[in-house]
């Protein structure tokens, strides 16, 4: 009887784990409006169910919305990033 319990415990401890395949590719387009307003459109693709975004606009501003609108107060080149 003890042997059956040990065998049963070993069978229950045998678990198969499958690694899921995830992908995420960041991308966006933008349009420049009046008074330094820039509208960003997220074109990213991912198979994550609850993807989150962190935009960095190059002037210290950030946003976590999917398609942000940002107002630039300065002039010159700015580097917007969606990592």
Grouped pLDDT means (10 residues each) for the chain, 83 residues = 41 54 85 91 86 89 95 85 81
The per-residue pLDDT for 82 is: 84
Residue 7 is predicted with a pLDDT of 41
Per the DSSP assignment, residues forming a β-bridge with 28 are 42
Are the C-beta atoms of 44 and 51 separated by less than 8 Å? yes
Tokens 């042997």 correspond to what residue?
A: 3
CA pair distance 56, 50, nearest whole angstrom: 20
Residues in the chain: 83
DSSP-derived secondary structure letter, 50: T
Cβ atoms of 55 and 78 closer than 8 Å: no
> Which of 55, 50, 25 has its CA nearest to residue 40?
55
H or E segment to which residue 10 belongs:
helix 2-13
């Amino acid at each position: 009887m003890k042997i059956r319990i040990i065998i049963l415990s070993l069978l229950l401890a045998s678990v198969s784990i499958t690694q899921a395949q995830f992908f995420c590719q960041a991308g966006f387009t933008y349009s420049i409006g009046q008074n330094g307003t820039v509208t960003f459109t997220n074109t990213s693709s991912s198979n994550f169910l609850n993807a989150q975004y962190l935009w960095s606009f190059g002037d210290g501003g950030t946003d976590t919305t999917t398609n942000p609108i940002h107002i630039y107060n300065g002039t010159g080149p700015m580097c917007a990033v969606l990592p």
